[in-house]
Amino acid sequence: MGSLLKAERLYIMMVWPLLAFSILAQAQGKKKISIGYTAKEYSVAKTTPNGVISCVLPPAMLKADDTNCRLYLYAQNDLRKIPMELVYKKGKLPLSTVPVESQVIYSVSADDIFFKEAKAGNYRWKWRGRARVPASPITPVTGKEVKKVACWFVLVSNKKSYVSDTLTIAIK
């Protein structure tokens, strides 16, 4: 009898976290942020117009009093498995007004954030790798050219996090 109770307790201890995680994931899934890119690919030589990366919120995701929001843009290339975080040199990424309906809350030209060498501007990248931080996710790695970059947004508002899908941009 005692071992049956232990087995039931063990089962409950194992299943409860999975159930709680599932419920939380479903609740956050209803309020999902989106990422978009307006071009087909990113052209390093700029032979075609490069696009704009944007973050879109669904209708009424945030309320007007949700002023404690922070948006992060991450990118990871196909050669390094360490994500890089975009840093706005003046502080937080500048968001548009808090949306009531589905709207773009942040957009940035790919030319402003993707560069092969460090340049003066409003943006830089940081990462947790041990090697020196590359100028941006499209910076060649040990002589190899980057072929694609995966990007995603994370919105933190009132201690809740929302993550967009991953957008893969081909680099030509």
What's the CA gap between 7 and 146, in Å, rounded? 52
How high is the mean pLDDT of the chain? 80
Give tens-digit pLDDT for 14-43. 434 433 333 344 444 456 899 999 999 999
pTM value is 0.77
Residues 164, 35 contacting (CB under 8 angstroms): yes
Residues 37, 167 contacting (CB under 8 angstroms): yes
Distance between start and end Cα atoms, the chain: 67
Give tens-digit pLDDT for 102-152. 678 899 999 999 988 888 889 999 988 788 888 999 999 888 999 999 999
Q: Which amino acid is at 140?
A: P
Residues 69, 98 contacting (CB under 8 angstroms): yes
